Chains A and B, each alone.
Chain A
């Protein structure tokens, strides 16, 4: 017998050891799968946590008794009565200010109703409950409110409402909305992509179509890859030093006759964000250009086209869907990015719509950050609602990108 064979079990013992090995294998396979399961559970927990926060019971009190102002129950008042109520009960200065924001007579009934609650009755939220608590411990919640806060009213509320989307900021969570934040985000992203798309595509064309393999071009390529890995907060610091401070005459608009602002404007934020997504746009555009078959270029060169004619008429049109997909992904990165905006000085409280690149601004993630870090639970509820708005925006963008990508993939 060969002594080496001592190590290898044979016959029955071989089968036994094989069973053990297979058992170990299936245990490990289970463990590997568990990792994916944990990832999936985390995602579910995150989404559940957000939705859980955005709906639920809320206990509130009227600071002023509605009976002092009107004989009818509040809900039964019509538009004119609400308007009259507002006219008589708030100071004329405050009324005029509201009128300047939007003419009172043109406001809808629900808008006026909200104003009455906000300005005259003055709601005070005492406590909020999560959706899960509201559904499964509803009777306990009711008992608690009845015992601790006999004056309070209890209502099951969705914090995410159409009104939430269309009202500006307010210092009270009940009346706050994300309108200014959404507009700010859109302005900012618009500027960012206007800056990053042409430059990024240009850089990608240079690197793919023109650049020879020399030292400088290799440095440029490595540098772009590295820029993609620089923490976003560092871009924020760059934006603060360059766009907010050094370019202040330009970004504050004082060069163009806008006098009432400093460098902390939408333009600064947009340019900072554009710088941040630039490497992303370049890398994606490079991939898209790389995917254009070489035969197209050769054919164009073959009939005597110059390099630019080839690029402009043949490479770019074919790479365009890919480049657009990349820019959509860049946009969705820019919309969710928070840290650079904090650094370049997004306002945390602003209730006027941004009206141009030189206005002060706030953005959706900034509001989420602000509201999340507040101690009162009603702010967490509107933070959750704002997160839902943000996630829906991102989902739409990414779905568009995926659809676009699938269409391109089918082509070749």
Chain B
């Protein structure tokens, strides 16, 4: 009662409302910071706009029809061949090989690191994977061309394995993605609540039974997210395939043959002197737009999986 009286009587008292009126300098700074944050949206819009604009020019070309684009198998825009499949199949084959190599290895490494390794062992083993993750892709390209290809040739014979081939590019890409898959899977596995493990041990399960039959299924969605991110990385990877997979679109399903991927094609064509507004130029943007959309969708799916998974255990 007494308090109320004081506020009522004191006419000059006005509670400070700091939120209502911001100092001028403060609001300028806040707008600048907001602009910096908003720039990222602008970058995305610019990517979509620029790629879309040139891609529309490409698809707007009367020679380019959907039937040609999706139903023929020769890609050579300069002479009016617009079948996208050779680039797509080689991208899929190299990515598939990469996942085929990196998934079992990455998963096994993650299981060992999260379930078996002592903290000390983990702190010595993990940096090895981190070094692999930090090596520039062009160095992996050198490795693929001058180590993996000769190795494959030694194993399968010079005749079957071409100098440039999708297999060596794919395998080396798998080694490159391995740290990504393993660290994301490890995150997923260590997010599995301890209670599940203790429960399994209490039932008399061995460590292997616990980790493979209890922890692994529980962390499966996170591992799925890791696989999707891995695919996205493999599809967008450029230098390894540019160096080792071959230069020239080739419609083949034989991994020991040379075939250019979407990224490799962009890198090779744009490396030369390319005149703006030519069909070659716009076609590259059409391919890049496809790459962008595919990787974007894959990344979004992966992120959605991780978010749902996190909510379930927290």
Stretch at the interface among A80-88, A96-104, A197-205: A197-205
The verdict on A223 contacting chain B, using a C-beta distance below 8 Å, is yes
| A residues less than 8 Å from B30 (CB atoms) | 206, 210, 307-308
| A residues less than 8 Å from B271 (CB atoms) | 342, 348
Smallest distance from the beta carbon of B23 to chain A beta carbons, Å? Answer: 7
Smallest distance from the beta carbon of B54 to chain A beta carbons, Å? Answer: 7
Report the Cα distance A233→B285, complex, angstroms.
11
Contact A339 B242 (CB under 8 A): yes
Among B112, B136, B266, which residue has its beta carbon within 8 angstroms of that of A237?
A: B266
Smallest distance from the beta carbon of B19 to chain A beta carbons, Å? Answer: 10
Residue of A nearest to B143 (CB): A46
The verdict on B235 contacting chain A, using a C-beta distance below 8 Å, is yes
Contact with B along A305-340 (1 / 0, CB 8 A): 011100000000000000000000000100111110
Contact A308 B25 (CB under 8 A): yes
| B residues less than 8 Å from A36 (CB atoms) | 108-109, 112-113, 125, 128-129
Contact A238 B50 (CB under 8 A): yes
The verdict on B71 contacting chain A, using a C-beta distance below 8 Å, is no
Report the Cα distance A368→B145, complex, angstroms.
13
Residue of B nearest to A229 (CB): B299
| B residues less than 8 Å from A50 (CB atoms) | 139, 142-143
Residues A232 and B236 in contact in the complex (CB < 8 Å), given A38-B105, A43-B131, A222-B303: yes
Among B138, B178, B179, B296, which residue has its beta carbon within 8 angstroms of that of A372?
A: B138
Residue of B nearest to A237 (CB): B288
Contact B178 A338 (CB under 8 A): no
| B residues less than 8 Å from A307 (CB atoms) | 26, 30
| B residues less than 8 Å from A21 (CB atoms) | 206, 208-209
The verdict on B41 contacting chain A, using a C-beta distance below 8 Å, is yes
Report the Cα distance A219→B37, complex, angstroms.
11
Contact B46 A238 (CB under 8 A): yes
The verdict on A369 contacting chain B, using a C-beta distance below 8 Å, is yes
Contact with B along A34-56 (1 / 0, CB 8 A): 11101110110110011001000
11 new A-B contacts at CB < 8 Å, known A36-B109, A233-B267, A369-B239:
A33-B112, A35-B108, A39-B128, A53-B146, A202-B32, A233-B288, A241-B51, A278-B40, A342-B242, A368-B138, A369-B138
Question: What residues make up the interface of A, taking CB atoms closer than 8 Å to B?
Answer: 21-22, 24-26, 28-29, 31-36, 38-40, 42-43, 45-46, 49-50, 53, 198-203, 205-207, 210-211, 217, 219-220, 222-227, 229-234, 236-238, 240-242, 245, 275, 278-279, 282, 306-308, 332, 335-339, 342-343, 345, 348, 365, 368-369, 372-373, 380, 383-384, 387, 390-391, 394, 398
Question: What residues make up the interface of B, taking CB atoms closer than 8 Å to A?
Answer: 18, 23, 25-26, 29-30, 32-41, 43-44, 46-47, 50-51, 54, 104-109, 111-113, 116, 125, 128-129, 131-132, 134-143, 145-147, 175, 178-179, 182, 206-209, 212, 229, 232-233, 235-239, 242-243, 263, 266-267, 270-271, 276, 284-285, 288, 291-292, 295-296, 299-300, 303
